Amino acid sequence: MSMQMKIQHEIKGAAAREGLTLTQAIDKWNKTYNKKQTLNNISNKLRNNTIRFNEVQELLDSLGYDITITRRRNTQQGKEE
């Protein structure tokens, strides 16, 4: 799965776990962070892989999720064995 598809999957999954559609999740983000994002705009950013990290972070935060970065197991100099 490409990184772009993984991000889209994670965002949609987080929204679904909260009982929300992506549109509702974006509405919640807009209210929480005083944004004016649209479903079309975010869908284009996800499709074109142009969504910024802080946008993903804010959107997930408005749904009650954090982004966690962990080191992979069995790695050597950043390459998976």
Give the mean pLDDT of 41-62: 94
Residues 6+ apart with CB under 8 A from 39: 22, 23, 26
The whole-number pLDDT of residue 79 equals 61
Domain parsing of the chain, residue ranges: 3-62
DSSP line for 39-74: HHHHHHHHHHT---HHHHHHHHHHTT------PPTT
pLDDT at 4 over 80: no
**Residue that the structure tokens 């996800």 belong to:** 46
* 63, amino acid identity: L
What percentage of the chain exceeds 90 in pLDDT? Answer: 73
